[in-house]
Amino acid sequence: MFEDMSFKVTFVLEDLGIGGAQRHTVSLIEGLSGMSPTVIGLSGGRSEIFSSLTNAPIRMPGLKGMWKVSNWVRLSKIIKRSNPDVVVAVNQISSIVVLGSKILGLHKAPVVSIFHSTKIGNLAGWVRTIPYIILSRTADRVIFVSRNQMIYWTGFMMSKRNAVSVVNGIDVTRYEAVDPVERRQAKKALGISEDDFVVGCVAVLRPEKNHVLLIRSFSKLVKKRGGAKLLLVGSGPCLDQIDRIANECGVRQSVIFAGMQADVKPFLAAMDVKVLASSSIETLSIAALEAMAMSVPVVLSRIGGATEIVKEGETGYTFGAGGVEELYLRLDSLAVSKSLADMGKAARSRVERKFSISDMLDRYECEFRGLIR
């Protein structure tokens, strides 16, 4: 698409964890040809998805506090040393620090802000989002990862002038289609009965992911039908609370806590349906796309880009965020559905057509190179 010209990009993230925004960043670093990347994690540790990168120097200056001008100065010095053609700030706090330091003249590189949030669920979220909205007007480009998300924010408070949407994409060659026979084998490998209806969720155990709602809906399903398992992949601060709620609902024996997994594919292969019950934050879930690529229908709370991902009744369903009864009814209908395999095939086909990583990478390359020119 472009002439053979390399370009330097410095990615700035609040932390180098294992969330959707971090995984999206790694996809860009691994996939964009001709790019010389540097990664800066403002604070926190480094997950293995970043440790495995071989083509990107990583800087971790330990900068805590988005309003400390001293942090802005230190970050700007690191940016200048990497001499980027473009700085990519991921989400609110990183964008505030990068844009604030540019306004003060501490660096001059073009700034792209990639924004991964839609509905803000608490006061702490708004504390970082309101100043971000103000400063985002000074960015050279604000990239939204969902069209629904862009419509929401530009119709609310954010500028349309510098806004574009580039939907998330995944590499479907990494996530192979799974047929019913292979799914039964995957269940058996995890010690699950081949006949059990497996509801799965791959998500960090944080409040906004709303595992408690999922537990309550799942408990209604078990009480009506039995023969079901809830497979939770991930770890986080809500583990004890979720375990306690499962006990209170009488379904603890039917819930499998798989913990954090470097490779989620064996667990996705065992799922009959993948659920995300998020109450906020979720925008266009990479985890949902990965499940669909492995022929798993999805049920997603109706926030952010959920309606862009799901073809209702064909690749899965959506439900109102916070709707215990509505989620239960969706799961109940899928538990007895004779078309799960067909829905799984349709889910994979939709990801291949609408959410390919090659399309996503082409769009990002256009944006980055356009700013360099």
3-state SS, one letter per residue, for 53-83: CCCCCEECCCCCCCCCHHHHHHHHHHHHHHC
The whole-number mean pLDDT for each consecutive block of 10 residues of the chain, a chain of 373 residues, reads: 72 90 93 92 87 88 86 92 95 95 93 91 87 96 96 92 96 94 96 96 93 97 94 96 97 96 94 94 90 98 93 96 95 94 97 95 94 84
Residue 135 structure tokens: 């400063």
Burial of 252 (0-12, 13-18, 19+ CB in 10 A): middle
- Name residue 311's amino acid: K
Helical packing angle, 91-103 and 123-136, nearest 10°? 40
Task: Quote the CA–CA distance of 84 and 261 in Å, as a whole number.
Answer: 34
Residue 165 to residue 148: CA distance in whole angstroms: 9
Q: Going edge to edge, which strands form the sheet with 197-202? A: 255-259, 228-233, 197-202, 273-276, 298-301, 316-319
300 bridge partner residues: 276, 318
Position 369: which residue type? R
Is residue 97 within 8 A of residue 62, CB to CB? The reply is no
- The SS3 call for residue 239 is helix
Alpha-carbon separation of residue 324 from 211, 221, 371 (angstroms)? 11, 11, 46
Q: Please, what is the end-to-end C-alpha distance for the chain in angstroms?
A: 15
**What residue has token string 């990239």?**
143
**How many Å is the Cα radius of gyration of the chain?**
21
CA dihedral 176, 181, 187, 189 (to 10 degrees): -80
d(CA 187, CA 194): 6
Specify the pTM. 0.87
Q: What is the per-residue pLDDT for 68?
A: 86
Strand, helix or coil for residue 122:
coil
**What angle, rounded to 10 degrees, do the helices at 91-103 and 69-82 form?**
90
Give residue 4's pLDDT: 54
- Give the number of other CB atoms < 10 A from CB of residue 17: 17
Q: Which helix H or strand E contains 274, and what residues bound it?
A: strand 273-276
Digit-coded pLDDT (tens) for 24-46: 999 999 999 889 999 999 988 88
Residue 356, strand partner residues? 170
Q: Which helix (H) or strand (E) holds 352?
A: helix 340-354
- The CA distance from 32 to 318, in Å, is 33
d(CA 298, CA 310): 7
